[in-house]
Amino acid sequence: MNPCSCLRLGVLFLSLLAPATISVGAAPTQTPPPNILLIVGDDMGYADVGFHGCKDIPTPNLDALAAAGVRFTSGYVSGPYCSPTRAGLLTGKYQQRFGHEFNPTGSDGLPVTETTLADRLKAAGYATGLVGKWHLGFQPKMHPQQRGFTEFYGFLGGEHSYFDSTSIQRDTTPVKEMDYTTDAFGREAVAFIQRHKENPWFLYLAFNAVHTPMHATADRLAKFPGIADKQRRTYAAMMIAMDEAIGHVRQTLAQTGQETNTLICFISDNGGPTMKGVTVNGASNLPLRGSKRTTLEGGIRVPFVVAWPGHLKPGVFYSPAIQLDLHVTALAAAGVEVKPEWQLDGVNLLPFLTGEKTGAPHDALYWRLGQQMAIRAGDYKLVRHDQNADTQTGVQQQPVTAAKLYDLRRDIGETNDLAAAQPEKLRELQTRWNKWNATLATPLWGQSSTPPGNRNGKKPGAGFKRKTRQANSK
Ligand code: CA
């Protein structure tokens, strides 16, 4: 590969600020470490943001964030669905290393032997909070407040109604939430940012938007008379709710004087679910091929932005990066030293974004989800993916395809298989993947037959049905 081509040199270091580690009695003249705001969308399509060219859904606040920061064209997640990506994000390690390969069910969750980003930033003196979706276990010992988050407002499962407070808690106490949950999560994020403006803080704002169930408010649905497809219209209405919430959050940062002292990262946890017959939400991953739950690009390449106004010059970053990097990047910004024994897989992106380092952050990126696999090294990708990714039939003779080789620079849509033409490249990538695969753990639990993930064993009650009929466009 040609690493230099991956970085547009417009991304420059504006400040050589080295944040001081927080310590009691630190001199007041020291620059305080920045706040860390990690925003995660859920099941968003790669195509469905204005900064990727989306035309039918306006995302002005996400576009403004991207324009104020660095937009990644090859930003990836290590899991093609919800919980594994979150496990990787919060630990900074490929989640398959500790067996968190699939969505957990029942009593399973992020192993308590793992340390989270919240644990690390809390130890560095940060105020820590999670607003939104957890999806890393229901057991009391796995509760966010046992995993480094001092404050919690949200739900523990993998999905939730947007009109019902069935499983919403503040800390460990169930609450009666009257707002549409995306609005509520925006409200709680704003309150957290205002509450902690005097101290460094870490906020993990994990929306469940735009995951199913497809619930939107009537006023937002009314903004899309031109979208004929009802599911896409609902999706659009859910997207703009999240976009508005992010706008409120950024407005609060500006109003409280925290704009240039807050590192903001935004990703979707996986690609849009587009395989008919499983779960779909109206997302589009074009021009990428494939869906959530596949190791094709559509499952793993996502909208990905890192913004730190006044410190990172806005630009575009072309080299592959992965959500594991955000963990290490956040630690670096906070002045937390990464210890070798932590065995993190993420890379600090800051020197690459400032131009201090050139080249690619990673020699290769890797994926495994059961028998699906992928490796991207430079422009080349080797992949074995779910056979249903294209057929959309729900019937399969074999679980995965044979190994396919693609040149993503020339073929972002993964249509021209080079496996027969370039057998040496195929063998090289397979060998590299095999070496990585040999370092992984046996999955701690199996792949659930119910793809949407953990529903907390609860079925929607009568109130749920009554409320959602009013605004659900189905
Ligand atoms: Ca998801």
pLDDT, tens only, 203-235: 999 999 999 999 999 999 999 999 999 999 999
pLDDT at 396: 52
Per-residue pLDDT tens over the stretch 110-130:
999 999 999 999 999 999 999
- Ligand 1 geometric centre to CA of 306 (Å): 20
CB 339: neighbour CB atoms within 10 A? 9
User: pTM, whole model, 2 decimals?
Assistant: 0.90
- Ligand 1 geometric centre to CA of 355 (Å): 32
Q: What is the share, in percent, of the chain residues with pLDDT greater than 70? A: 86
Buried b (16+ CB within 10 A) or exposed e, 434-448: eebeeebeebebebb
**75 pairs with which residues across the strands?**
321
DSSP state of 251: H
Catalogue all structural domains in the chain, each as residue range(s) with its CATH number. Answer: 30-354 (3.40.720.10), 365-472 (3.30.1120.10)
Amino acid of residue 119? D
**Of 82, 143, 215, 265, which one is the catalytic site residue?**
82
- Ligand 1 geometric centre to CA of 261 (Å): 29
Catalytic site includes residue 6? no
pLDDT at 390: 79
For residue 386, which of 369, 401, 368 has the smallest C-alpha distance?
Answer: 401
- Ligand 1 geometric centre to CA of 314 (Å): 27
Average pLDDT over residues 243-266: 98
Q: Is there a contact between 332 and 308 (Cβ–Cβ < 8 Å)?
A: no
- Ligand 1 geometric centre to CA of 81 (Å): 5
For residue 92, which of 78, 102, 106, 111 has the smallest C-alpha distance?
Answer: 78
35 pLDDT higher than 60: yes
DSSP state of 33: P
- Ligand 1 geometric centre to CA of 194 (Å): 28
**Of 52, 100, 135, 143, which one is the catalytic site residue?**
135
pLDDT band at 468 (very low <50, low <70, confident <90, very high): very low
Q: Is there a contact between 51 and 73 (Cβ–Cβ < 8 Å)?
A: no
Higher pLDDT, 393 or 157: 157
pLDDT band at 387 (very low <50, low <70, confident <90, very high): confident
- The environment of the single-atom ion ligand 1, i.e. residues with CB closer than 5 A, is 42-43, 82, 269-270
pLDDT band at 397 (very low <50, low <70, confident <90, very high): low
251 pLDDT higher than 90: yes
pLDDT at 22: 39
DSSP-derived pairing of the beta strands 169-170 and 151-155 = antiparallel
- Ligand 1 geometric centre to CA of 211 (Å): 6
Which of 179-193, 269-283, 424-438 bottoms out in mean pLDDT, i.e. has the lowest?
269-283
pLDDT at 20: 39
